[in-house]
């Protein structure tokens, strides 16, 4: 089944009205190609669709030869290059083509933001519209399933994640097999090969360590000691994992009070199925000791997807003091702070006294299994 993506209508409208270069980022297999093809079918203009892995096209868009690029795109209204990061000097070549043929609509996709962004950021400054596509969001599922059905599948979303292909596989065994293959293939292809990393086993070991520390403060020094790597190397690996849409960081919120932790981050996964594949644990959520961590990751991730798709630009944090007071999630926007505490059970938590005394004009709410739709929809 095809689940309509949240950004599809906006992408259709933008491609119809704007001559900017459109770029869709996202990890492999999140549905970038499917989404773009759906959008291109809707705008119904003659389109040249190119896979950047094909050598003949790769050569055309890496030579800075306007004549050759014009010859290839002649007669087409739209150019779509899939996995554009695989083309050398793609940025400057697309700039040359776009400046010469501004009426040609150009769409690029990339699964490695650190690679594609480096190639296009300077040449295409001011000429692009950028979108990020995530694994399926609950805010997208709600158009295909009702809330009761989503609630019944909650354990699956927390254990095997929401990659699009999973919704077309029949058995749990098939889904787990797909995740195990996916976790190794895109991690190694996009991070190890493109970044030319020497210690391929170490980055996977790092990912395992991070998998067990969801929701905890991360110490780069401790990770480096465990992996027998330098601080700089571990920091670089984490940065690459972020830019390949495997993990993301949450920083501590602070107004420079001595008692607030601000120099350590928390790390979460863009998909819980990938996280569980790394540690090879797909047990039912009701029987897991890491249930609270998975719930926290799930809620923050879904909220982040929703903010991104709605183009609501918010600063996201956690809050913790050295004395142990903490809040799971903070959003800062329009000059205001909004605090949230996450609980798998139905217990109603109270905001820490230190928080109330320090930040008086803020909101505080809690999210559990009963009311989570209000938070992620």
Final residue before a domain boundary, out of 110, 132, 154: 132
Pairing of strands 128-132, 21-25: parallel
Q: Is the pLDDT at 192 greater than 90, yes or no?
A: no
Is residue 271 very low, low, confident or very high in pLDDT (cuts 50, 70, 90)?
Answer: very high
pLDDT tens string 59-114? 999 999 999 999 999 999 999 999 888 888 888 899 999 999 999 999 999 876 55
Q: Is the pLDDT at 197 greater than 80, yes or no?
A: no
Whether 112 and 177 map to the same domain: the answer is no
Note down the domain range covering 241: 138-376
Q: In whole angstroms, what separates CA 49 from the centre of its chain?
A: 25
Average pLDDT, the chain: 90
Final residue before a domain boundary, out of 114, 132, 150: 132
Pairing of strands 217-218, 78-82: unpaired
The CATH number of the domain where 87 resides is what?
A: 3.40.50.300
Q: Is the pLDDT at 53 greater than 90, yes or no?
A: no
- Euclidean distance between CA atoms 214 and 290, whole angstroms: 9
Q: Is the pLDDT at 44 greater than 70, yes or no?
A: yes
Q: Please, what is the Cα angle at 17 between 10 and 107, to 5 degrees?
A: 70
Asked whether residue 118 is assigned to any structural domain, the reply reads yes
Whether 325 and 339 map to the same domain: the answer is yes
What pLDDT was estimated at residue 255? 77
Instruction: Show the tokens assigned to 314.
Output: 């918010």
Q: Is the pLDDT at 190 greater than 70, yes or no?
A: no
What pLDDT was estimated at residue 357? 87
Is residue 228 very low, low, confident or very high in pLDDT (cuts 50, 70, 90)?
Answer: very high
What pLDDT was estimated at residue 256? 60
Q: Is the pLDDT at 194 greater than 60, yes or no?
A: no
Whether 325 and 346 map to the same domain: the answer is yes
Whether 202 and 319 map to the same domain: the answer is yes
Is residue 260 very low, low, confident or very high in pLDDT (cuts 50, 70, 90)?
Answer: low
What percent of the chain lies above the pLDDT cut of 90? 68
Asked whether residue 101 is assigned to any structural domain, the reply reads yes
What pLDDT was estimated at residue 2? 85
Helix (H) or strand (E) holding 298: helix 291-309
pLDDT tens string 330-377? 999 998 999 999 999 888 888 999 888 888 889 999 999 999 999 999
What pLDDT was estimated at residue 138? 98
Q: Among candidates 364, 370, 324, which has minimal Cα distance to 347?
A: 370
Contact 300, 315 (CB under 8 A): no
Greatest pairwise CA separation for the chain in angstroms: 68
- Euclidean distance between CA atoms 106 and 121, whole angstroms: 16
Is residue 158 very low, low, confident or very high in pLDDT (cuts 50, 70, 90)?
Answer: very high
Instruction: Count Cα neighbours of 128 within 13 Å in the Cβ-side half-sphere.
Output: 19
What pLDDT was estimated at residue 364? 94
Q: What is the mean pLDDT of residues 160-185?
A: 93
Whether 255 and 217 map to the same domain: the answer is yes
Q: Is the pLDDT at 28 greater than 70, yes or no?
A: yes
What pLDDT was estimated at residue 203? 82
Whether 145 and 119 map to the same domain: the answer is no
Whether 73 and 13 map to the same domain: the answer is yes
Final residue before a domain boundary, out of 83, 106, 132: 132
Whether 120 and 206 map to the same domain: the answer is no
What pLDDT was estimated at residue 346? 85
β-sheet bridge partners, residue 132:
25
Asked whether residue 227 is assigned to any structural domain, the reply reads yes
Instruction: Show the tokens assigned to 134.
Output: 């995530």
What pLDDT was estimated at residue 115? 57
């Amino acid at each position: 089944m095809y689940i309509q993506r949240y950004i599809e209508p906006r992408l259709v409208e933008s491609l119809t009205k704007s001559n900017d270069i459109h770029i869709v980022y996202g990890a492999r297999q999140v549905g970038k190609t499917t989404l773009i093809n759906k959008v291109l079918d809707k705008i119904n203009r003659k389109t040249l669709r190119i896979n950047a892995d094909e050598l003949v096209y790769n050569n055309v868009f890496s030579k800075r030869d306007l004549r050759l690029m014009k010859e290839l795109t002649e007669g087409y209204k739209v150019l779509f290059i899939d996995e554009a990061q695989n083309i050398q000097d793609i940025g400057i070549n697309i700039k040359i083509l776009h400046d010469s043929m501004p009426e040609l609509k150009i769409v690029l996709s990339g699964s490695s933001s650190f690679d594609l962004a480096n190639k296009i950021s300077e040449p295409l400054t001011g000429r692009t519209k950028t979108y990020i596509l995530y694994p399926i969001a609950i805010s997208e599922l709600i158009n295909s399933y009702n809330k009761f059905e989503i609630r019944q599948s909650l354990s699956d979303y927390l254990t095997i994640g929401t990659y699009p292909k999973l919704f077309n596989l029949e058995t749990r065994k098939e889904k787990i097999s797909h995740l195990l293959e996916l976790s190794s293939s895109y991690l190694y292809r996009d991070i190890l090969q493109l970044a030319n990393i020497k210690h391929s086993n170490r980055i996977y070991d790092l990912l395992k360590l991070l998998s067990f520390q969801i929701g905890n403060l991360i110490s780069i020094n401790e990770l480096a000691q465990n992996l027998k790597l330098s601080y700089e190397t571990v920091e670089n690996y984490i940065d690459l994992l972020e830019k390949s849409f495997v993990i993301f960081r949450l920083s501590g919120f602070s107004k420079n009070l001595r008692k607030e932790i601000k120099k350590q981050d928390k790390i979460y996964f863009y998909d819980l199925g990938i996280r569980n594949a790394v540690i090879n644990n797909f047990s039912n959520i009701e029987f897991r000791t890491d249930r609270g961590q998975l719930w926290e990751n799930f809620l923050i991730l879904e909220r982040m997807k929703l903010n991104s798709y709605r183009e609501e630009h918010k600063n996201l944090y956690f809050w913790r003091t050295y004395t142990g007071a903490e809040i799971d999630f903070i959003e800062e926007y329009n000059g205001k702070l909004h605090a949230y505490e996450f609980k798998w059970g139905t217990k109603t938590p109270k905001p820490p006294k230190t928080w109330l005394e320090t930040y008086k004009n803020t909101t505080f709410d809690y999210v559990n299994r009963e009311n989570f739709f209000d938070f992620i929809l």
